[in-house]
Amino acid sequence: MVSIALSTGDGISHEFQLDLDNDGGESADCGTTDPCSQPFPPTTTFMFTVMANPATYTYYCIFHTIQMHGTFTINPGSTVGGVVTSPTNPVIIIQYITITSAVLVAIITATLFVARGGRKTTSNSKNS
């Protein structure tokens, strides 16, 4: 999820568009191929999910495509303009740790059981 805080410094209307289909600033693409904010001023926070391949794209102000544009880079295996957050619910983390521990204990117990069983079989065959 990308969150962009948009504001105007000149008092006139602007609208952010991320040109994911690389055909320039086209208002007809808003809501279909390209994420677009609401027009602003005074301010707006535009949140959207990027469904696109890692690459460098162009963003535009739809109303001023020639004067107002820039690059928007999607890095492979990373987030754009933010950080990946860990689960914040301690209960989920504790449950996850508990399940992981139980599985590890089960694996260790099974391994020890097989190892002991193997030695017994070996010693039995030596004895007989």
Q: Which residues bind Cu ion (CB under 5 A)?
A: 14, 61, 63-64, 68
Beta carbon of residue 30, minimum distance to Cu ion (angstroms, whole number): 14
8-33 b/e (C-beta count within 10 Å ≥ 16 → b): eeeeeebbbbbbbeeeebbeebeeee
Euclidean distance between CA atoms 82 and 104, whole angstroms: 34
Beta carbon of residue 93, minimum distance to Cu ion (angstroms, whole number): 44
Q: Could you give phi then psi for residue 39, rounded to 5 degrees?
A: -65, 145
C-beta of 20 vs 61, nearer to Cu ion:
61
C-beta of 66 vs 122, nearer to Cu ion:
66
C-beta of 28 vs 112, nearer to Cu ion:
28
Beta carbon of residue 64, minimum distance to Cu ion (angstroms, whole number): 4
- Which among 2, 92, 93, 104 is positioned nearest to 46, based on CA atoms? 2
